[in-house]
Amino acid sequence: MKDTHRRGARLRLAVAGAATVAVLGPLVWLWQDSLMPAAYSVMDMGYADYGGGPSPSPPSHATGPGHGSHLTTAAQGHRGHTDDTGRTTAARSVTSLVADPNRTADVTVTLVARAQRFRLPTGRSVDGYTLNGASPGPAVHATVGQLVQVRLVNESVPGGITLHWHGVDVPNAEDGVAGVTQDAVGTGKSHVYRFVANQAGTFWYHSHQVSHEQVRRGLLGPLVVTPARRPPAGTVDVVALLHLYDGARTVNGREGDVRVAARPGDRVRVRVINTENGETPAWVGGAPFRLVAVDGTDVNEPSPVRDTAVMVTAGGRADIEVTMPEDGSPVRVHIGGPGGVVLGSRSYDAPAAPRPARTLDLLSYGAPEPIGFDPERADRRFTYEIGRRPGFLDGTPGVWWTVNGHLFPDVPMFMVAEHDVVRMRVSNHSGESHPMHLHGHHAVVLSRNGVRATGSPWWTDSLEVGNGESYDIAFVADNPGVWMDHCHNLPHAAEGLVAHLMYEGVGTPFTVGGEAANEPE
Amino acid sequence: MRVVYKVLAYLVAVEVAVQAAVMVFGDAGLGKWVGQGGVLDKSVLESEGSPFPEVIGFMAHGINGMMVIPVIALLLLVSSFFARVPGAVKAAGLVLLLVAVQVTLGLSGHDIPALGALHGLNALLLFSSALYAARRDRGVAVPAQAEPRLGTAG
């Protein structure tokens, strides 16, 4: 009886142990499988997706989902072509993709980054980061075609910094993504960025090292590229950069209104820059307006609208043009709330207008014009499907974003060759909206949820893809490199909503992690 | 192990109560902030800064709900294998199932608010099931103690 009982107890224990292994075993396996190495190249992340285009032969790598490991070894990776002899030929390094090194700079700026406590004009004290002693950092101004040279000095920001030129299609080496196009600039070090400002428009710059933290705390500033021709008399140009410091909404670092003088009849261009992680509406009280540019690209034949709000995507820009009323009454450009920019001639006493119920749909705004390529004859067709599911992200359990059903880092590497016409369907079933940002390129929106774009070509670098929405976009692969294609709700990027676009024959020597402690998200 | 099981089960119940508390804390803070002139839009919602101090309630709710509680529920299930409490495995399994349902409903609520309402109701079910699991050993104390005696008698 005693033996029987002992045997029973042992059996029970064995069953309990087996059940524990059955429950925890797979979880422990998934957990350890999700752990990232101390240093890795983004080129070894996930799987190559050739989008139906040619893959280098012989295929160096599994081309579809469902392969065993999500971090391949360097030899198996996309590091270079393998020629007929099986020898791996050297790839072009991203560090060679620069602006003409022999050309002298037209615009030279030095930006010194510090970790410090600083005061907003309203007196609020912020513990964050500054560029040349202030946040937002100084506006960088250039005329189209000028070569801009920015020396970034990291005086005291721990963990290193970079600068990314958001929306400017710079050469890859100047893209400022830590661990992909450069090493983070440690304290006491500096880095020089050089690029030609080849498109007139509104842009901004921000750190792309631990960006979800460094951008929030102030490492950012506006970048404005103006056309070569001088603006006609009676035009006013104003930047309105939205940023929240410790939850306080500011425009150009000011809480409350920014006041700008404008005479009756003046045409005022308000360059709204959303540096936040969520979209914000902008609208105008007191006058009709035109949306003259989106994401640094002019809208073709924008018609005047009123009682309509414009949604400004996180990371995106919207240039709003207002003609000042002849009667001298002021105009209020609202940015997300009662505050914003007040344009005044005789007074700044512009009453707040409630947010209009109507929202401008860029799919049908403005007039069509040729886009310069035929998206129907695409060389590559990619899918960027955003979802969400439970799992482990570098060992942390949670409910994380997925790309094409896979958790980071098992995400697609979108492979293209130079001059390819690329189509991408970006769809979102994740329960939340995502502002998707492709580095180094502007893409044109072809359709949303199957409805074709009928307005001005909608060129974008920061596209809000709402939950349940699907956008077809297209672009020409004309800027070789390794480019991030990620969610600009920056904490989402840190939660794994990151993929890359990579040109064949291009490789990066930089690694995420490693000695420079690169952490782009 | 029975104590561990019991403590974990009660912990789930306590955590559900914490979840309810921090959510309303955050919501009340939001209401007060808007009342004082604060404006909420997506840019504020997604900002990791704190427009109002009670926003920490929302953050705590998310981390607690998506990471901490699922881990506790999982450990509860494992402890139930060893607890030698009649029905413990079933009760712990029910708790884990309701936790999974709860996380799903919570996230779906972002998209379909009506599912958010079910999230609130399911919280009550989860709370009850956690208490039910914790109190499974009541009334079985005698047979449980009787076991060794049986052994020695045999």
- Distance of alpha carbon A369 from the chain centroid: 26
- When scoring A280, A402, A521 by the number of chain B Cβ atoms within 10 A, the one with the most, hence best to mutate, is A280
Show residues of chain A in contact with B66, CB under 8 Å. 398-399
A101, amino acid identity: P
Query: Is pLDDT of A223 > 80?
Result: yes
- With a cut of 80, say whether residue A85 has pLDDT above it: no
Same domain for A252 and A299? yes
Question: Min CA distance, A436 vs chain B (Å)?
Answer: 15
User: Looking at the domain assignment, is residue A446 inside a domain?
Assistant: yes
* Residues whose CB falls within 8 Å of the CB of residue A500, separated by 6 or more in sequence, listed in order: A42, A45, A180, A413, A414, A482, A483, A484, A485
Do A364 and A274 touch, CB atoms closer than 8 A?
no
Judged by phi (left if over 0) then psi (alpha if -120 to 50, else beta), residue A52 lies in left
Nearest CA among A91, A95, A96, A44 for reference residue A70 = A44
Check CB contact under 8 Å for A276 and B55: no
Q: Name the token pair of A32.
A: 């350890």
What's the pLDDT tens digit per position in A279-314? 999 999 999 999 999 999 999 999 999 999 999 999
DSSP string, A139-169: PEEEETTPEEEEEEEESS-TT-B--EEET--
Based on the fold, state whether residues A240 and A354 are members of the same structural domain.
yes
Residue A84 has pLDDT above 60, yes or no: no
Tokens, residue A20: 């524990």
Q: Is the pLDDT of residue B139 over 70?
A: no
A507 and A378 in a single domain? The answer is yes
Q: How many whole angstroms separate alpha carbon A408 and alpha carbon A40?
A: 13
Res A76 pLDDT > 80: no
Are A382 and A438 within one domain?
yes
List the single range of A105-109, A184-188, B106-110, B148-152 with lowest mean pLDDT: B148-152
The full DSSP string for A384-407 is EEEEEEEEEETTEEEEEEEETTEE
pLDDT of residue B38: 87
Kindly state whether residue A509 falls inside one of the protein's structural domains. Answer: yes
- A254-277 average pLDDT score: 95
Does residue A118 fall inside a structural domain? no
Q: Give the residue ranges of DSSP H helices in A201-322.
A: 211-214
Beta bridge pairs of residue A119: A125
Task: Give pLDDT, residue A77.
Answer: 43
| Cβ proximity of A275 and A242 under 8 Å | yes
* Cα torsion through A82, A84, A90, A91, rounded to 10: -50
Owning domain of residue B25? 2-137
Does a structural domain hold residue B154? no
* Residues A406 and A509 reside in one and the same domain: yes
The C-alpha angle with vertex B13 and arms to B9 and B17, in degrees rounded to 5, equals 160
B151 assigned to some structural domain:
no
pLDDT tier at A64, thresholds 50, 70, 90: very low
Query: What pLDDT score was predicted for residue A8?
Result: 85
How far is A107 from B132, CA to CA, in rounded Å?
Answer: 71
Q: What is the largest CA-CA distance in chain B?
A: 77
Which element (helix H / strand E) includes A258? strand A258-261
Q: Which residue type occupies A84?
A: D
What's the whole-number mean pLDDT along residues A154-180?
97
> Among residues B90, B88, B70, which one has the least CA distance to residue B79?
B88
Within a domain: residue B144? no
Please give the backbone phi and psi of residue A196, each rounded to the nearest 5 degrees, phi first: -90, 125
For residues A429, A435, A439, A443, the Cα torsion angle rounded to the nearest 10 degrees is 80
Smallest CA–CA distance from B105 into chain A, residue = A431
pLDDT band at A57 (very low <50, low <70, confident <90, very high): low
Residue A96 lies in a domain: no
Judged by CB atoms closer than 8 Å, whether chains meet at B43 and A13 is answered as no
Predicted confidence (pLDDT) per residue in A16-29, tens digit = 999 999 999 999 99
How many domains, in total, are found in chain B? 1
Kindly state the tokens that stand for A492. Answer: 């989402």
| Shared-domain flag, residues A300 and A400 | no
Element (H, E) at A483: strand A482-487
The CATH number of residue A63's host domain is: 2.60.40.420
Q: What are A174-198's pLDDT values in tens digits?
A: 999 999 999 999 999 999 999 999 9
Whole-prediction pTM: 0.90
Q: Is the pLDDT of residue A44 over 80?
A: yes
| CA atoms of B109 and B105, how far apart (whole Å) | 6
Q: Give ipTM to 2 decimals.
A: 0.81
- B52 assigned to some structural domain: yes
Q: pLDDT at residue A69 above 60?
A: no
In degrees, to the nearest 5, what angle opens at C-alpha A240 toward C-alphas A236 and A242? 175
Residues of B in contact with A491 (CB under 8 A): 46, 48
Query: Would residue B37 be called left, alpha or beta, if left means φ above 0 and alpha means ψ between -120 and 50 degrees?
Result: left
The answer to whether A388 faces chain B, any CB pair under 8 Å, is yes
Q: In A, which residues are within 8 Å of B53 by CB distance?
A: none
Residues in B closer than 8 angstroms to A4, CB to CB, are 154
Q: CA-CA distance, A268 to A260, in Å (whole number)?
A: 9
| A447 assigned to some structural domain | yes
In percent, the amount of chain A with pLDDT more than 90 equals 84
Domain that holds residue A15: 1-34
DSSP three-state, residue B133 = helix
| C-alpha span between A11 and A302 (Å, rounded) | 78
CB count within 10 Å of CB B38 equals: 18
- Inter-chain residue contact B66 with A398, CB threshold 8 Å: yes
Same-domain status, A352 and A443: no
Identify the pLDDT of residue B146: 43
In a domain, A178, yes or no: no
**Averaged pLDDT of chain A:** 92
Parallel, antiparallel or unpaired: strands A280-285 and A289-294: unpaired
Contact A216 B49 (CB under 8 A): yes
Coil, strand, or helix at residue A409? Answer: coil
The CA distance from A355 to B42, in Å, is: 14
* Assigned token pair, A287: 């006058």
Q: Which residue has the tokens 């990471």?
A: B67
Are A264 and A312 spatial neighbours (Cβ–Cβ below 8 Å)?
no
* Whether residue A414 sits in one domain with residue A387: yes
Interface test with A, best of B1, B2, B33, B42 (most A CBs within 10 A): B42
Interface test with A, best of B4, B46, B69 (most A CBs within 10 A): B46
Taking CB atoms and an 8 Å limit, are A397 and B71 in contact across chains? yes
A340 and A471 part of one domain: no
Task: Classify residue B153: in a domain, yes or no.
Answer: no
- Which domain-ending residue is among A303, A334, A360? A360
Q: Are residues A405 and A500 in the same domain?
A: yes
Q: How far apart are CA A186 and CA A140, in angstroms?
A: 23
- Partner-chain contact A20 B150, CB within 8 Å: no
Does an H or E element contain B125, and which? helix B113-134
Residue A248 lies inside a defined structural domain of this protein: yes
Q: Are residues A26 and A52 located together in one domain of the fold?
A: no
B21-43 average pLDDT score: 92
> What is the mean pLDDT of the segment spanning A234-252?
94
Residue A375 buriedness (CB in 10 A; 0-12 / 13-18 / 19+): middle
For the record, the structure tokens of B45 come out as 């919602």
pLDDT at B151: 41
Identify which has the larger pLDDT, A411 or A339: A411
Q: What is the DSSP letter of B50?
A: -
Domain match, A13 and A53 both: no
Does residue A333 have a pLDDT over 70? yes
Q: Which residues contact A196 (CB under 8 A, 6 or more apart)?
A: A99, A100, A145, A146, A147, A148
Residues A402/A434, Cβ–Cβ less than 8 Å:
no
The per-residue pLDDT for B154 is 35
* Interface of chain B toward chain A, CB-CB under 8 angstroms: 37, 39, 41-52, 55, 66-67, 70-71, 74, 77-78, 81-82, 84, 89, 103, 107-108, 110-111, 147, 150-154
User: A28 — contact with chain B (CB < 8 Å)?
Assistant: no
Q: What percent of chain A has pLDDT over 70?
A: 93
**What residues does A203 pair with on adjacent strands?**
A223
Q: What is the pLDDT of residue B140?
A: 55
Total domains in the fold of chain A: 3
What percentage of chain B reaches a pLDDT higher than 90?
71
| A35-94 residues touching B, CB cutoff 8 A | none
Q: How far, in whole angstroms, is CA B130 from its chain's centroid?
A: 8
In-domain check, residue B108: yes
Is B150's pLDDT higher than 80?
no
| A125 occurs within a structural domain | no
Question: Residue B37: inside a domain, yes or no?
Answer: yes
* A244·B110 Cβ contact <8 A: no
